Structure 1
Amino acid sequence: MIDFSIKESVINTISILGSGWLGLPLATQFYKQGFSVKASTRHNDRFSEIASSGASAFIVDIDELAESGEFLQADILIINITSKNISGFARLIQQIETSPIQKVLFISSTSVYQNLNREVTEDEQAENHDSELWQIEQLFQTNKNFETTILRFSGLIDERRHPGRFFRNGRSVPQADAPVNLIHLNDCLGIIDAILQQEAWGEIFNGCAETHPSKREFYSYARQLMGLSPPEFDIESDIKYKIISNQKVKNKLNYRFQHPDLMKIAF
């Protein structure tokens, strides 16, 4: 089990905006470590599932944002939703400004980087500035009323998001010879843990496994694990890709990946 204890911390309450694939396991782990946890959903029928994690459930919809009130009565806010509603996030920031929250962890995506056909890092201005997600990141990073760390995850995988099921029903894999950028759920949780424990605020971090096999290699391997034949692959001579560097989380946070080699994950 990942240790979510934050030594000598004054953090008592953590709010998690988004309680899906990553948010619900986060809520469970924080609760087990003794924190008061609040988790949001857009649907009332998920309240019992959230309650089973130990968290208190709240309705928060970034697209129709009402006064978030009690949900934002917290020490730390972790934002973990896929919305790209810029105006919705701008309204959320206004509410954060009048709340007790001083620290925000914004879960973003490495899709903000341009396809430069090489390795990209957090500190070289390799982002696509037309990306709505990058523009949302900027809203948080430039706000002086609280500190924000941006955590950009690559493609998310585990047993529930088994990559052997990504390309089914005759779907072919595009850019077959391009490298993959993926990360296991356990490492998502571990990196978040490291950020909170080390109080690494005001930073940008990439979260991505160590290895980058080609899509052809990796998805054939993932399907083999399920006893299935390889998927169909599109053959394209002009491939566009990026290789996500994970050096910063290893160097600055001293983080050691639990699943560094994608070709050795057993799922």
Structure 2
Amino acid sequence: MNKNISILGCGWLGKPLAIKLIEGGFSVKGSTTSISKFDEFKNLGISPFLISLENIAIEIKEFLTSEILIVALPSKNIEGFKKLIQFIEKSPVKKVLFISSTSVYVSNNNVVNEFSELQDIPLVAIENLLIKNKAFDTTIVRFAGLFGYDRKPGNFFKNGRTIPNPEGFVNMIHQDDCISILEKIIETNLWNTIFNACADTHPTRRAYYIKTKADLGNEPPVFAKAENTVFKIISNEKIKSILNYKFKYSDLMSFNYGSYDI
């Protein structure tokens, strides 16, 4: 396998992923929109590039001199992705790993899998641009709500903010599981497919935020009046079966969210 990887978006998820890939022997190029991060990236062994999807320039050609491109951007800029794809088509990139979100699914008050109904939103359009392109292979990973380390759910609703839909169910995934899953996709060479990635358990929003706030010693949560509960429960069966993956943080109610190590 070619050991060169480019990560477009070395932020909360992309940076620790880059660190793990470097530990695994990969040479990693990483993008940021802030030149002030260059020294940090270099110290971590990441080759830094200043790239903005909103203003892609010719410099992205050098960034794309890798076999695998991982896209870890929150941007929903369809036109920016169209321009990016034009550069990918002319580059050495043969495989794209696109980090998406389970927010693409319609809330149908049921369990949803990779074949369930999708919303008509920009993220779905971007997924389609990538997966339908025959110039490169694409795998899409739809992550549930992200948490871990400095991103603690007990801090999500602060200062008395009302938490809506309290009897709905949460779909969450820890940063460690995200990184392990992405690593395993690369290791096993699984392309041209779509995966949901989500912890095994789905407590109600009421139970989850009562616990996560209490674990941090924060104020008790304030919930909206429960009316017309709308939810979706994300199935992770495909990724567990095909990748033979066992989640590190599988039971969302079984650990203390106040721990500095979580």
The TM-score normalised by the length of structure 1 is 0.94
User: Match for residue 30 of structure 2?
Assistant: 39
User: Match for residue 42 of structure 2?
Assistant: 51
* 8 A Cα contact 2:21 2:183, kept in partner: no
Give 1:33 shift.
Answer: 1.7
**Out of 102, 105, 108, which is 1:116 matched to?**
108
The amino acid of 1:84's aligned partner reads: K
The amino acid of 2:144's aligned partner reads: S
Give 1:31 shift.
Answer: 1.1
User: Match for residue 94 of structure 1?
Assistant: 86
Q: Does 2:173 match 1:179? A: no
Q: Distance in 1 between matches of 2:82 and 2:32?
A: 19
After the TM superposition, which segments of 4 or more aligned residues of structure 1 sit over 2 Å from their partners? none
The amino acid of 2:77's aligned partner reads: N
Give 1:228 shift.
Answer: 2.4
User: Match for residue 11 of structure 1?
Assistant: 2
* 8 A Cα contact 2:4 2:28, kept in partner: yes
Matches within 5 A, 1:166-205: 166-205=156-195
SS at 1:263's partner residue?
coil
User: Match for residue 136 of structure 2?
Assistant: 146
User: Match for residue 157 of structure 1?
Assistant: 147
The amino acid of 1:164's aligned partner reads: G
Give 1:38 shift.
Answer: 0.3
Give 1:42 shift.
Answer: 0.7
* 8 A Cα contact 1:77 1:105, kept in partner: yes
The TM-score normalised by the length of structure 2 is 0.96
User: Match for residue 121 of structure 2?
Assistant: 131
Give 1:236 shift.
Answer: 2.6
Q: Does 2:245 match 1:237? A: no
User: Match for residue 6 of structure 1?
Assistant: none
Q: Deviations over 1:179-216 (max 9, x none)?
A: 00100001001110111111110010001000000111
Give 1:69 shift.
Answer: 1.4
Matches within 5 A, 1:208-227: 208-227=198-217
Q: Distance in 2 between matches of 1:51 and 1:170?
A: 41
Give 1:78 shift.
Answer: 0.2
**Out of 61, 77, 99, which is 1:69 matched to?**
61
Q: Does 2:97 match 1:105? A: yes
Paired residues, number: 256
Q: Deviations over 1:74-101 (max 9, x none)?
A: 0100000000000100000000000000
Q: Distance in 2 between matches of 1:34 and 1:159?
A: 25
Q: Distance in 1 between matches of 2:56 and 2:2?
A: 26
* 8 A Cα contact 1:19 1:50, kept in partner: no
Q: Distance in 1 between matches of 2:138 and 2:245?
A: 20
Q: Distance in 2 between matches of 1:61 and 1:228?
A: 37
Give 1:245 shift.
Answer: 0.4
Give 1:242 shift.
Answer: 0.7
Unaligned runs of 5+ in 2: 257-261
SS at 1:264's partner residue?
coil
SS at 1:93's partner residue?
helix
Unaligned runs of 5+ in 1: 1-9
Q: What is the aligned-residue identity percentage?
A: 46
The amino acid of 1:95's aligned partner reads: F
Q: Deviations over 1:212-239 (max 9, x none)?
A: 0011101111111112232101113112
